[in-house]
């Protein structure tokens, strides 16, 4: 399991460098050198990293199996690290009326004003990938907000919108997001879109 120091180092590595000058640094700087659509995702990606960094100081770190066939994670505030070290899930407590203040860019992706005012658990998901023998912590393109912290009230969030340019999504990012959330052992069996329409899933 990654230690607090290792997780903090992952974040520092990811957000280092001069984004405006497109010089040096980690994943965020790589985004700055990419296509315009990806550059527009920098604020959301940076927010996900800094939220993880902030809550690492106050939330417990625990280890669990994270995968499609793993037991569904309990929605208890904390930082969950995969047994194999390939995934990290941050479960952040959000007070009523605070989602937009805590996570401005992620909340902005929710079309429902009502959802933004409710308390719950904000789930941020990251993958650990190795490139040139160096491990990197990468934010996933989606997140989820669990209204009232209840598994049955999962609202998927399109965090990094540039993925919509990928033709593999077929225009239905919600279905893909729910499948991906299941791969992070997050509950989504009764997930619904922010607009309120039901989405049937397998978990």
Q: How far apart are CA 49 and CA 59, in angstroms?
A: 15
Residue 56: predicted pLDDT: 97
Whether the pLDDT of residue 22 is over 50: the answer is: no
Phi then psi for 71, rounded to 5 degrees?
-65, 140
Residue 169: predicted pLDDT: 66
Residue 171: predicted pLDDT: 66
pLDDT tens figures, 105-147 = 999 998 889 999 999 999 999 999 988 888 999 999 999 999 9
pLDDT tens figures, 65-112 = 999 999 999 999 999 999 999 999 999 999 999 999 999 999 999 888
Query: Whole-model pTM above 0.75?
Result: yes
- In the chain, domain spans: 60-183
Q: How far apart are CA 65 and CA 186, in angstroms?
A: 11
Residue 23: predicted pLDDT: 45
In the numeric block, the tokens 């598994």 are attached to 151
Average pLDDT over residues 160-184: 84
Query: Quick one: DSSP state of residue 71?
Result: P
Number of C-alpha atoms within 13 angstroms, CB side, residue 124?
31
| C-beta of residue 184 within 8 angstroms of C-beta of residue 131 | no
């Amino acid at each position: 399991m990654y230690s607090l120091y290792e997780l903090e180092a992952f974040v520092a590595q990811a957000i280092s460098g001069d984004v405006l000058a497109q010089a040096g640094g980690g994943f965020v700087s790589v985004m700055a050198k990419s296509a315009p659509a990806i550059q527009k995702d920098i604020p959301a990606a940076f927010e996900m990293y800094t939220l993880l960094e902030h809550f690492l100081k106050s939330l417990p770190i625990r280890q669990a199996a994270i995968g499609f066939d793993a037991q569904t994670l309990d929605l208890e505030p904390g930082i969950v690290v995969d047994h194999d070290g390939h995934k990290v899930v941050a479960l952040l407590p959000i007070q009523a009326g605070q989602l937009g203040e805590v996570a401005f860019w992620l909340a902005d992706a929710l079309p429902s004003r009502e959802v933004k005012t409710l308390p719950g658990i904000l789930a941020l998901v990251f993958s650990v990938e190795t490139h040139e023998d160096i491990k990197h912590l990468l934010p996933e393109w989606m997140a989820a907000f669990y209204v009232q912290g209840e598994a049955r009230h999962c609202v998927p969030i399109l965090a990094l919108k540039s993925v919509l340019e990928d033709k593999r999504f077929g225009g239905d990012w919600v279905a893909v997001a729910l499948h991906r959330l299941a791969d992070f052992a997050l509950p989504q069996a009764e997930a619904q879109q922010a607009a309120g329409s039901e989405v049937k899933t397998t978990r």
